[in-house]
Amino acid sequence: MDSQKAKEIIKQTQAYARTILNSLSAHIAIIDENGRILETNQAWNEFARSNQIKLRPSSPDINYLDICESARGNSAKNAAVVARGIRQVINGEIHEFSIDYPCHLIRCKYSNAFYLPCFYKKGLNNIYNQLLA
């Protein structure tokens, strides 16, 4: 397969993945091994907009771990637990992490569930980058 064909397949696959991601009602952010947000879905973005979240965690390249670790007030304790759980998943100490926590935002009158499965496998990104080369 030539490089141009591989790039086209990747482009189509990314479009399908984006459509599937946006069809889910769960608030989803995909983060890298450093906690940097790579992608978010429509539900995540709408939640951030409707609750006037100032740090814009819906934006790619924002570090979600930094957001959690800098949290203050009502959400600080749970945010620290979330950051610790994310780090444990990234470091391979656990395979998944979940927590239920109260939501203290404007348009949020329910408890949130945070669930993080591990989809990251070392070396996969290198394969992806080689296909794009």
Nearest to 32, CA basis, from 78, 89, 79: 89
Report the 10 Å Cβ neighbour count for 87. 16
Is residue 42's pLDDT more than 80?
yes
Gap between the Cα atoms of 129 and 131, Å rounded: 5
Confidence band, pLDDT 50/70/90 cuts, at residue 76: confident
- What mean pLDDT do residues 61-85 have? 86
For the chain, give percent helix, strand, coil, nearest 5: 45, 15, 35
Percent residues over pLDDT 90 in the chain: 8
What are the residue ranges spanned by the domains of the chain? 3-132
Q: Which alpha helices (H) appear in the chain, and where do they start and end?
A: 3-23, 42-50, 64-69, 76-90, 124-132
Confidence band, pLDDT 50/70/90 cuts, at residue 117: low
Query: Which of the pair, 101 or 69, is modelled with greater confidence?
Result: 69
Please give the pLDDT value at position 118.
56
Cβ contacts of 118-124, under 8 Å, gap ≥ 24: 118/89, 118/90, 118/92, 120/32, 120/33, 120/90
Query: Which of the pair, 81 or 51, is modelled with greater confidence?
Result: 81
Gap between the Cα atoms of 61 and 39, Å rounded: 9
Please give the pLDDT value at position 22.
92
Gap between the Cα atoms of 48 and 45, Å rounded: 5
Q: Out of 33-42, 44-53, 81-90, which region has the weakest mean confidence (pLDDT)?
A: 44-53
Q: Out of 11-15, 17-21, 23-27, 110-114, which region has the weakest mean confidence (pLDDT)?
A: 110-114
Domain 3-132 class in CATH: alpha beta
95-104 pLDDT per residue, tens: 888 887 766 5
Q: Using CB atoms within 10 A of its CB, is residue 43 exposed (0-12), middle (13-18) or buried (19+)?
A: middle
